[in-house]
Amino acid sequence: MTKESLRKCVGCNELKSRNELIKITVDNSSKEIFINPNSKTFGRSAYLCYNQNCIEQALKKRKINRALKIAANIDLKGLLNGQLKG
């Protein structure tokens, strides 16, 4: 019996399975941001629901930047909208 990995969405603060969330990772060495569905890149990460309202709230209140501990104003909205459509 394996234990399911639960992660908290930074937008709505609900605990969900990792498979139900979008993983956003900041690479430690290059400080580059990845939308990381396969967990191959290591670094500081934040998770978001696939819900559009959840993503908008997280971007509006800068919750993603706070969770990733980055001050840069990065175009996460474009990256995340591409993730939802794709």
As for how many domains the chain has, the answer is 1
Contacts of 3 by beta carbon, 8 Å cutoff, 6+ apart: none
Element (DSSP H or E) covering residue 67: helix 63-68
pTM of the predicted protein model: 0.79
User: Is residue 77 a part of any domain in this protein?
Assistant: yes
Contacts of 74 by beta carbon, 8 Å cutoff, 6+ apart: 33, 65
User: Is residue 1 a part of any domain in this protein?
Assistant: no
Q: In which domain, by residue range, is 61 found?
A: 6-85
CATH of the domain at 53: 3.30.1230.10
Residue 75's pLDDT is 65
pLDDT band for position 58 (50/70/90)?
confident
20 CB neighbour count, 10 Å cutoff: 13
Q: What is the pLDDT of residues 5-53, one digit of tens each?
A: 899 999 999 999 988 999 988 887 777 788 877 767 778 899 999 888 8
User: Is residue 13 a part of any domain in this protein?
Assistant: yes
User: Is residue 65 a part of any domain in this protein?
Assistant: yes
